[in-house]
Amino acid sequence: MEAPLTPAQEEVLALLRETDGERPDVDAALRHELKHHLEQELRPLTRGIEKPVFVGKAALQRVLQCEAHHVAEQQAPFEWSVATARGTVAHKAVQLSVGRTDRPPPLKLVDDALERLQDDPGSRIADFLLGLTDAARAELRAEVNELVAGFVELWPPLQRAWKPQAETRRRAELANGMLILSGTVDLTLGAPQGLRAGRVVVDLKTGGRHAGHVDDLRFYALLDTLRSGVPPFRLVSYYLDSGTFSVEDVTEQVLEAAIRRTVAGAARIVELQLGMRSPAVTPNPTCRWCRLKDECDGAVAWGAEEQPG
């Protein structure tokens, strides 16, 4: 006998089942029209590229916030830490939970995720995990367990009929493979039915809401449409700390907004990578943790604005 659902789990279940009326079929030519639109805008910029340029959600967000910040992050070597590893391990644990027929405790999922990641020779995080001290590993386990426990507690058990998929990759190649849009979706449920949208895309978040979260999901919706030809019907940002969510149904206007943003960001990324111009400085809240904050006039100006009085 299945355990009764909590109110929070019932809310999620209602969200997944809810539809705003009949979803119409999409045009079979939609994916080709979207790809043509993207290539028409971006192909001229790719003529000077000698190797593929990858564009993901993090790069888009950075370059549209501040080009100087984006360039600094691109040039700096990535360094693993407990803070940066937390999300990777948590997403792996959620992925494992989707494939399990039982419901193990969250900490068991965390330990399984750590074991899989450190034993995978192709994993970027393996060396970091193997080199952790006992204290650092305990800290990482505790922090990831809190996230995974939140997901298990707040989400109803995922049924096979929902066709759940975790950590699914999406990729679109443009301009003969010289510009590659890519992303990894936390969780998807459902699937298209012919030309009718039937997939829900879920991004699991910690912390509070941010306007960029909507843009991330719209980028995933664009990638999903370019891949299958049918867009998701719903985008969900789920906040594990508060047990709340924000929802947007995918419309033609949502896809158009995603294309405009992707074109704007990809153009900047290519221009900066080719050295066509110097990066612009745009003071914004990310100045607080930017690696250039002590030497950038924009970061200094932003910090001064934040000072009381």
pLDDT in tens, 7-29: 989 988 888 776 545 677 899 99
Q: What are phi and psi of 18, to 5 degrees?
A: -65, 140
Percent of the chain with pLDDT over 90: 59
Does pLDDT of 183 surpass 90? yes
State the pLDDT at residue 218: 97
Q: Average pLDDT of 76-86? A: 89
User: Model pTM?
Assistant: 0.90
Please write the tens of the pLDDT for every residue from 268-299.
999 999 889 999 999 988 888 888 888 888 77
